[in-house]
Amino acid sequence: MRNTAILPGKDKIDDMIQSIDDGYYLVNHSNGQADYTGEFTFGIPLGYEIKQGKVGRAILDTTISGIAFDVFKSVTMISDEMTWMQGGFCGKKQMIPVGMGGPAIKCNVMIGGK
């Protein structure tokens, strides 16, 4: 398990959305995994398309994946709002409580798969 925390930035979520011509606003997450190389995959039960800076239709039940180090290098905006929740438990041969959350970030990540 990784212990990575991103501190809130100074950007407003509305400004972040308006700055995107073609992308996605991923608002909910579910189970996933990460390994020691930084490779990860997580479920996304809910998100929205962004077209010309406006939130559009909902997308349901997709995934994101990538290399965490590459994703972090692509961050260009960080929201000033932060959310945190007790997410559940790690299930890799032990029951360790895990939490998740942080500010919204504008970055590049693989949605779906190749």
Quick: pLDDT tens for 4-50. 778 999 999 999 999 999 999 999 888 888 888 889 999 999 999 99
Query: What pLDDT is attached to residue 63?
Result: 95
Angle, CA 16 vertex, CA 14 and CA 19 arms, to 5°: 110
Strand pairing partners for 77? 106
Domain spans of the chain, in order of start: 14-77+104-111
The β-bridge relationship of strands 39-51 and 54-67 is: antiparallel
CB 106 within 8 A of CB 37: no
CB 109 within 8 A of CB 88: no
Over 70: is that where the pLDDT of 104 sits? Answer: yes
Confidence of residue 107 (pLDDT cuts 50, 70, 90): very high
Query: What pLDDT is attached to residue 67?
Result: 94
Question: Among positive and negative, which fits the CA dihedral 89, 95, 96, 97?
Answer: positive
Q: What is the pLDDT of residues 59-72, one digit of tens each?
A: 999 999 999 999 99
